[in-house]
């Protein structure tokens, strides 16, 4: 018995060593986060989300409606729980995409750095990628603790028809050289110009929103829009 153990010692040692290397090199979970008001969620969001999910090889992508955008505090918003519920309905059948209520559960303005700190506590091994729209580039350098944001998370800008992402990125880097190279731009993938503003206007005018939002969201909106 002792002899057998001695003979297998090198094998055991190398197995343990390989297991240790495997543990050290274990792939961090690739966790994407797409923020926004989602007032309401529409197919433009979903097309951009799915495309980013595939191109960035994400394991999960959380769609996270904010309670309030710190730089748009005067905005007239539908209740955050309704917006979250519509996101939930929209991604119910979507593998890898999930609705996340982390920001809607917090009071007041939704600061990204607080969300990232929260996510790190919940998913200490995950590599977080934050997806944002081109519009966010205009203010990104003024976001709370932006240097720490780019340390904790990869920041990727989603393409959107009609928006000049490359120029906006260059303008950001000129304003804030400390952010040079810290924000990537996702160039490929299908794009469609649908906006939540347009959907809200159509609803107000009694026009159809069919094909602009998932069917379950359309039903939810019709049920909850006063006539």
Interface residues with ligand ATP (CB under 6 A)? 36-39, 44-45, 48, 132-133, 135-136, 158, 160, 191-197
Q: Other CB atoms closer than 10 Å to residue 214's CB: what's the count?
A: 21
- Smallest separation (angstroms) from ligand ATP to the CB of 77: 9
Given the complex with ligand ATP, which of 17 and 189 has the nearer CB atom? 189
- Smallest separation (angstroms) from ligand ATP to the CB of 34: 6
- Smallest separation (angstroms) from ligand ATP to the CB of 116: 16
Which residue's CB atom is positioned nearest to ligand ATP? 133
Q: Other CB atoms closer than 10 Å to residue 111's CB: what's the count?
A: 18
Given the complex with ligand ATP, which of 193 and 215 has the nearer CB atom? 193
Given the complex with ligand ATP, which of 2 and 38 has the nearer CB atom? 38
- Smallest separation (angstroms) from ligand ATP to the CB of 67: 13
């Amino acid at each position: 018995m002792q002899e057998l153990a001695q003979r297998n010692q090198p094998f055991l040692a190398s197995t343990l060593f390989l297991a240790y290397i495997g543990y050290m090199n274990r792939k961090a979970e690739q966790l994407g986060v797409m923020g926004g008001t989602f007032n309401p969620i529409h197919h433009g969001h979903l097309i951009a989300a799915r495309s980013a999910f595939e191109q960035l090889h994400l394991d999960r992508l959380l769609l996270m409606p904010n309670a309030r955008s710190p730089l748009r505090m005067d905005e007239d918003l539908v209740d955050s729980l309704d917006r979250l519920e519509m996101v939930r309905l929209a991604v119910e059948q979507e593998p890898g995409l999930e609705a996340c209520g982390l920001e809607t559960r917090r009071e007041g303005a939704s600061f990204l750095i607080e969300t990232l700190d929260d996510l790190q506590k919940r998913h200490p091994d995950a590599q977080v990628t934050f997806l944002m729209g081109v519009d966010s580039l205009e203010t990104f350098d003024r976001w709370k603790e932006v240097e720490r944001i780019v340390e904790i998370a990869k920041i990727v800008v989603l393409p959107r028809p009609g928006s000049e992402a490359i120029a906006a990125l260059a303008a950001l880097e000129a304003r804030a050289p400390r952010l040079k190279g810290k924000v990537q731009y996702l160039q490929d993938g299908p794009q469609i110009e649908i906006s939540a503003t347009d959907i809200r206007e159509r609803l107000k005018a009694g026009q159809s929103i069919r094909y602009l939002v998932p069917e379950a969201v359309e039903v939810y909106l019709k049920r909850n829009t006063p006539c």
